[in-house]
């Protein structure tokens, strides 16, 4: 068989498990996954090269109706994912309502790009419920394959991989075979911190935070990383830091551990908190953070 390659964009509503699924399909933890919606803000590529194929996955932010300029920028990256795909994995799960964001769903379903509908989280369902759900999706999207999986339990994910390969056009690899992603270490380091912030703080806080790496020095024994946590309001600064710095310390320790695992190297991590008032609506700041 000839070599197959292509761009596979993972789309769907927030929190259905898009990032978890991409990490499983690629076999690396590239994309931050948390129980909270809207963790993923950028498009992130995950490249899987195997015998006779190369798949370039893109994990995208979940579909939403924008409230901030930040979210409009996130939605533009979703839109662009519709244009440049050889295959779309439309991810849904066993709990979300099919009619959620119906308009976007219809746009995706009616686009000319080949698609696979992936019903994730089947570990939370039972056989009878699942059969009904598969039937409903098959009726809604005639001719489009519907595949139930569990990203967390890695159930049916090998089958999904086969389906993806078979759906790709013939073509040469786009990236060197050892390349895993289009992003640099710095990006993953900021994402690790953002992920820990999502896990540590409640309510609006994680959504008000952006992380920037101020300096990144690679020394033989360790990487020295200095990061700034930006918040949108003065009052949020104290919350991030916590009593005598306790919260920030917790974030730092957890983030450093993950970084060391990811980089296979010791890390010295410093973090500062700064206020960038209402940055989510500030075009200059959005540009600085790479959204515009």
Ligand X SMILES: Nc1nc2c(ncn2[C@@H]2O[C@H](COP(=O)(O)OP(=O)(O)O)[C@@H](O)[C@H]2O)c(=O)[nH]1
Q: Of 9-17, 131-139, 184-192, 271-279, which segment contacts ligand X by CB under 6 A?
A: 9-17
Of 33, 167, 181, 223, the one binding ligand X (CB under 6 A) is 33
Nearer to ligand X, 43 or 256 (CB): 43
Token reading at 154: 């890695």
Nearer to ligand X, 41 or 69 (CB): 41
Q: Does 236 bind ligand X (CB under 6 A)?
A: no
Residue 194 makes contact with ligand X by CB under 6 A: no
Closer by beta carbon to Mg ion, 4 or else 194: 194
Residue of 38, 276, 272 whose CA lies nearest to 284: 276
Q: Indicate the burial class of 168 (C-beta count within 10 angstroms; 0-12, 13-18, 19 or more).
A: buried
Q: Is the dihedral of CA 94, 99, 104, 110 positive or negative?
A: positive
* Residue (17 or 267) nearer to ligand X, CB: 17
For 290: left if phi > 0, alpha if psi spans -120 to 50, otherwise beta; the answer is left
Applying CB under 6 A, does 195 fall inside the site for ligand X? no
In whole angstroms, how close is the CB of 14 to ligand X at the nearest point?
Answer: 5
Binding of residue 19 to Mg ion (CB under 5 A)? yes
Per-residue string for binding with Mg ion, 33-72, x by CB under 5 A?
-------x--------------------------------
Using CB under 6 A as the binding rule, whether residue 135 contacts ligand X is answered as: no
Tokens of 145: 């394959």
The verdict on 9 binding Mg ion (CB under 5 A) reads: no
Instruction: State the DSSP string of 148-180.
Output: E-BTTTTBSHHHHHHHHHHHSPB---SS-TT--
Positive or negative, the CA dihedral 287, 31, 43, 73 is negative
User: Strands 44-50 and 53-59: what pairing?
Assistant: antiparallel
Of 194 and 256, nearer to Mg ion (C-beta) is 194
Q: Rounded distance, CA 172 to CA 217, Å? A: 36
Choose the contact partner of 120 out of Mg ion, ligand X, none; CB within 5 to 8 A by kind: ligand X
Task: Find which of ligand X, Mg ion, none residue 114 binds, CB within 5 to 8 Å per kind.
Answer: none
Alpha-carbon distance of 175 to 178, in angstroms, equals: 8
End-to-end CA distance of the chain: 41
| Residue 16 in contact with ligand X, rule: CB under 6 A | yes
Which residues contact ligand X (rule: CB under 6 A)? 14-20, 33-35, 39-40, 62, 120-121, 123-124, 150-152
């Amino acid at each position: 068989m000839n070599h197959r390659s292509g761009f596979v964009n993972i789309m769907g509503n927030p929190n259905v498990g898009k990032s978890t699924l991409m990490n499983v399909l690629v076999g690396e933890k590239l994309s931050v996954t948390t129980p909270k919606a809207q963790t993923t803000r950028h498009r992130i590529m995950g490249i899987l090269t195997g015998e006779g194929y190369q798949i370039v996955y893109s994990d995208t932010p979940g579909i939403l109706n924008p409230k901030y300029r930040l979210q409009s920028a996130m939605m533009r990256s979703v839109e662009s994912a519709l244009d440049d795909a050889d295959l779309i994995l439309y991810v849904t799960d066993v709990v979300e309502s099919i009619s959620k964001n119906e308009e976007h769903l219809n746009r995706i379903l009616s686009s000319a790009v080949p698609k696979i509908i992936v019903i994730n989280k089947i570990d939370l369902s039972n056989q009878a419920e699942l059969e009904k759900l598969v039937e409903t999706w098959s009726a809604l999207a005639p001719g489009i394959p519907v595949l139930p999986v569990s990203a967390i339990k890695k159930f049916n994910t090998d089958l999904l991989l086969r389906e993806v390969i078979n759906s790709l056009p013939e073509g040469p690899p786009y990236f060197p075979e050892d390349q895993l992603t289009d992003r640099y270490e710095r990006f993953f380091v900021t994402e690790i911190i953002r992920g820990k912030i999502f896990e540590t703080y409640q309510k609006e806080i994680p959504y008000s935070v952006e992380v920037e790496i101020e300096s990144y020095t690679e020394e033989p024994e360790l990487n020295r990383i200095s990061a700034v946590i930006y918040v949108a309001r003065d009052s949020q600064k104290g919350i991030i830091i916590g009593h005598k710095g306790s919260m920030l310390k917790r974030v730092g320790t957890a983030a450093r551990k993950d970084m060391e695992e990811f980089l296979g190297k010791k890390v010295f991590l410093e973090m500062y908190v700064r206020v960038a008032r209402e940055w989510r609506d500030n075009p200059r700041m959005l540009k600085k953070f790479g959204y515009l």
